[in-house]
A and B are shown apart, each in its own frame.
Chain A
Amino acid sequence: MLKIENLHASIEGKSILKGLSLNIKAGEVHAIMGPNGSGKSTLANIIAGKEEYEVTKGNIELNGEDISELAPEERAHNGVFLSFQYPVEIPGVSVTNFIKTAINENRKARGLEDMPAKEMLKMIREKSELLEIDRKFLSRSLNEGFSGGEKKRNEIFQMAMLEPKLAILDETDSGLDIDALRIVSNGVNKLRSKDNAVIVITHYQRLLEYIVPDYVHVLYGGKIVKTGDASLALELEAKGYDWIKELA
């Protein structure tokens, strides 16, 4: 599904990714771990198409198509979803209105009519129940005054609504208490299927107890320095990252 080869990228002249390769097939869950500043969020933002980053070398293919020249919305229309580490507050747009607009813009890009209001409401009800989101919450301005946990739950709610092919969860576990972590993980697991893939970016093994990965990659110094199965996350939790730094 996603094929990244020898990716080099920089921001404001500072080189961050230095030859990263990653191959993800449909149905798989990949965890990306690594110390602060190793380039995890950069990778997430580059896949999503954030303009500030400059890809200097290598390519990114989604389902066989090079997406590196596509606008962020075009990547979204192709099924890329990024759950932000720090979701932006947008006062004046309610959660409901935002998700309605997003869904209908995605449909428009596929040549479909707007989703009928009744169907939309039903879907909103189902997905908000899945994430144990209160009705009142949906009429509030997007992310404005939300707690850290509410913001992350709202991200996964949007993911559930948009049903992406490739979901990237950028530190979705940060700021979550144990109940919220369970709800969010449950939401993600419900959405897993043989047709989509998930990238979980995290510092901690904790989230991976709930969302069990097929592969764990360690990113350090802009490259993947080690790949293993779920047990690698446990090893990192026990031993820290110092031994990884020596591998690089």
Chain B
Amino acid sequence: MTDLKDKILSSYVAFENDKDTNSEIHDIRSKALQNFEELGFPTRKLEEWKYTSLNSVLKQDYSLFPNKEAAVELADVKKYFIHDIDTYKIVFVDGKYSSFLSETTHDTIDVCLMSSALAKPKYKAVIENYFNKTAKQDNLTSLNTAFACEGAYIHIPKNIEVQKPIQIIHFTTGTEAATLLQPRNLIVVDENAHVQIIERHQSLNENPVLTNAVTEIFAAKNATVDYYKIQNDKSSASLVDNTFIDQKTNSEVSVHTFSFGGNITRNNLNFYQNGEHINSILKGITIIEGKQHVDHHTLVHHIEPNCESHQDYKGIYNDRSTAVFNGKVIVEKEAQKTNAYQQNNNVLVSEKATINAKPQLEIFADDVKCSHGCTIGQLDNDALFYMQQRGIPEKEGRALLMFAFANTVLESVKIPEVKSRIAKIIANKLNVKIGFDL
């Protein structure tokens, strides 16, 4: 078995063969490949990867460019969509665009494909202005950039409030023994525009999948972006999600990450505030069991004055599951009157579960409000007894307490159908029927 890094490096020439080598994108890719060649895959020797090891998932012999066509019936995958409301859909099957499952548009807004945005002249200006402009040059992001060719491309022009949410869904059929996917999304939201996006990765059988995704989001002045990540994949699927958000004055961007499934899930969520009166909202609910591992690495970079950030991450860990929360907040010297709030609460249901929680505040300004709270505990036995006394059985009582615990995050979901879907996933996960709608 060849080493995955070697395999990737030697596949690059073939990958570039059918691409236009005379473009700026080509230069960006080549540089990124060099970067990855130097850095390699992250190991636990790196501070940022101390508690998350990719060793076990890197051992697979991944097919880098899945080729086999696999038919996917809508009836089989409908349940993975938010299907009770009208939405735009950008759907990929084994990394390839599925026009059959998708519903894209070029009417006023562009909801389409990265591959066409990279190839067609009419998108050239946007690509030149934004592509790879906020993504970090770290190991896995570089790897993605080197092979960036497909994903969602969304451009919302000035003053447009998009009426339907946009769903980005990646299916893996498992026709290959093991699949590596590297989707690349670019989302540009112009001044005073508003968009809601729901993203999901879903494998359809038990063959191993590793997804190394990069999403760049640009929110211009007064723009609003609500982004929901639903991570409820099979236990054979691992995900590294790298999301980079560039915000301008008066913009508000929220990212909710719901991590319930998967094998190893690493979320690198990075906010850069390049303007004043910006609001950044980062929220997450993690409920895992078995040997699952979820790692949230967040960064909020307060660069200019009068901005806010709100982080609220809740985690419930069962069995031998392990988790990481590393919340970094940097407040630059110029970023006076910053209001940065971070909350991370964890419940260990099993004695064998582990959470490594690390708030990291680097504050260089003197007139700021920065608060952080981190708790690790068990469910409140007095509350459980109270519920049982009222006739609620122990199992349902525990579930209700966990619901209640996670509810502060769920409450801020703005799309009711997403909220009720998440509530349903949680109820399934806790194996109870909740007697009311949240």
Identify A88's interface contact among B383, B393, B405, B436, CB under 8 A. Answer: B383
B431 to chain A, nearest CB (A): 16
Whether B404 contacts A105 by the Cβ 8 Å rule is no
Out of A89, A90, A101, A141, name the residue touching B396 (CB < 8 Å). A101
Contact A93 B404 (CB under 8 A): yes
- Let me know if B385 and A50 touch, CB within 8 A: yes
**Residues of B close to A54: CB separation below 8 A:** none
A104: CB under 8 A from chain B? Answer: yes
- The answer on a CB contact under 8 Å between B382 and A88 is yes
Main secondary structure of the interface of B (DSSP, over half): helix
Assembled-state Cα–Cα distance A51/B47 (Å): 45
Residue A40, interface by CB 8 Å = no
Shortest CB-to-CB span from B427 to chain A, Å, is 12
Asked if B388 contacts A76 (CB within 8 A), the reply is: yes
Cα distance A41–B278 when bound, in Å? 53
Residues of B within 8 A of A102 (CB): 387, 390-392
Query: Does B408 lie at the interface of the complex (its beta carbon under 8 Å from any beta carbon of A)?
Result: yes
B401 within 8 A of A: yes
A93 and B435 in contact, given A72-B385, A102-B392, A105-B393 (Cβ under 8 angstroms): no
CB-defined contacts of A158 to chain B, threshold 8 Å: 390
B38 in the interface (beta carbon within 8 A) = no
Min Cβ gap A70→B in Å is 11
CB distance from B411 to the nearest CB of A (A): 8
CA distance A88 to B397 in the complex (A): 13
B405's nearest neighbour on chain A, judged by CB, is A92
CB of B394 within 8 Å of the partner chain: yes
- Report A114 CB to chain B, min CB distance, Å: 7
| Residue in contact with B383 in the complex, picked from A73, A82, A90, A105, CB distance below 8 Å | A90
**A49 proximity list for chain B (CB < 8 A):** 388-389
Most buried by A among B389, B396, B435: B389
Report how far A103 CA is from B392 CA in the complex, Å. Answer: 9
Q: Does A16 belong to the interface (CB within 8 Å)?
A: no
Which listed residue, B389, B403, B407, B435, touches A104 by the CB 8 Å rule? B435
In the complex, chain B residues 359-401 whose Cβ is within 8 Å of any chain A Cβ: 380, 382-383, 385-394, 396-397, 400-401
Q: A90-B383, A97-B436, A101-B436 are in contact. Are A76 and B390 (CB under 8 A)?
A: yes
Report A-chain residues with C-beta under 8 Å of the C-beta of B392: 73, 101-102, 105
Q: Which residues of B contact A114 (CB under 8 A)?
A: 435
Say yes or no: A105 contacts B408, CB within 8 Å. Answer: no
Alpha-carbon separation in the docked complex, A181 to B391 (Å)? 26
Which chain B residues lie closer than 8 Å to A106 at the CB level? Answer: 391
Q: In the bound complex, what is the Cα–Cα distance between A71 and B401 (angstroms)?
A: 18
The listed residue with most A CB atoms (<10 A of its CB), out of B382, B391, B396, is B391
20 of the cross-chain contacts (CB-CB < 8 Å) are: A48-B389, A49-B389, A71-B393, A73-B389, A73-B392, A73-B393, A87-B386, A88-B386, A89-B383, A90-B383, A90-B404, A92-B408, A98-B387, A101-B396, A102-B387, A102-B390, A104-B435, A105-B393, A105-B435, A141-B404
Interface residues, chain B, with chain A CB atoms under 8 Å away: 380, 382-383, 385-394, 396-397, 400-401, 403-408, 434-436
Q: Which 4 A-B pairs have the closest CB atoms?
A: A92-B404, A92-B407, A72-B388, A76-B391
Q: A48-B385, A48-B389, A51-B385 are in contact. List 17 more A-B contacts (CB 8 A).
A: A49-B389, A73-B392, A73-B394, A76-B390, A84-B389, A87-B386, A90-B386, A90-B387, A92-B408, A98-B387, A100-B435, A100-B436, A101-B392, A105-B396, A105-B435, A109-B391, A162-B391
